[in-house]
Amino acid sequence: MAFVTTTDLIPLIPELILLGAAFVVLLLDLFAPGSQRTTLAVTTIVGFVIALVAEIQLLDSGATGFYGTIVADGFSILFESLYLVIGILTVLLSLHYLDDHGIGFGEYYVLLITAVVGMMFMTSSLELLVIFIGLEIMSISSYILVGIRRRVPESNEAALKYLLLGAFSTGFLLYGISLLYGATGSIRIPEIVVALQEPGALNNPLAIIGVALIIIAMGFKVAVVPFHMWTPDVYSGAPTPVTAFLSAAAKAAGFAMFVRVLLTGIPLEAELWKDLFWAIAVLTMTVGNVMALMQNSVKRMLAYSSVAHAGYIMVAVVVGTPAALSSVIFYSCAYAVMGTGAFGILTVRHFGKTPDSYDDLAGYARYKPCLAFLMSVFMLSLIGLPLTGGFIGKLQIFQAALEEGWVWLTVIGLLNSALSVYYYLRVVVCLYMREGSVPDGAVLEVAESPGFALTGLVGAASVVVYLGVFPQTLLELAASSVSTLF
**Residues between 254 and 273 that touch other proteins (CB under 8 A):** 272-273
Nearer to other proteins, 30 or 441 (CB): 30
Nearer to other proteins, 34 or 441 (CB): 34
Least distance between other proteins and beta carbon 385 (Å)? 5
Least distance between other proteins and beta carbon 196 (Å)? 10
Residue 19 touches other proteins, criterion: CB under 8 A: yes
Least distance between other proteins and beta carbon 419 (Å)? 6
**Omega of the bond prior to 226 within 30 degrees of 0, cis?**
yes
First to last CA, the chain: 33
Q: Please, which of residues 412-451 interact with other proteins by CB under 8 A?
A: 414-415, 418-419, 421-422, 425, 429, 432-435
Least distance between other proteins and beta carbon 72 (Å)? 14
AA letter at 20: G
Residue 326 touches other proteins, criterion: CB under 8 A: yes
Q: Please, which of residues 81-120 interact with other proteins by CB under 8 A?
A: 105, 107, 110-111, 114, 117-118
- Candidate segments 41-49, 259-267, 451-459, 472-480, binder of other proteins by CB under 8 A: 472-480
Least distance between other proteins and beta carbon 395 (Å)? 8
Q: Please, which of residues 171-200 interact with other proteins by CB under 8 A?
A: 171-172, 174-175, 177-179, 181-187, 195, 200
Among 30, 53, 402, 442, the residue binding other proteins under the rule CB under 8 A is 402
Among 121, 278, 331, 364, the residue binding other proteins under the rule CB under 8 A is 121
- Candidate segments 31-39, 78-86, 292-300, 312-320, binder of other proteins by CB under 8 A: 292-300
- Candidate segments 142-150, 309-317, 348-356, 440-448, binder of other proteins by CB under 8 A: 142-150
Closest CA to 251 of 303, 174, 292: 303
Nearer to other proteins, 58 or 146 (CB): 146
Nearer to other proteins, 190 or 441 (CB): 190
Residues 6+ apart with CB under 8 A from 308: 284, 285, 287, 288, 289, 292, 416, 420
Binding mask 38-77 for other proteins (x = CB under 8 A): ----------------------------xx-xx-------
Residue 348 touches other proteins, criterion: CB under 8 A: no
Q: Please, which of residues 350-389 interact with other proteins by CB under 8 A?
A: 365, 380, 385-387
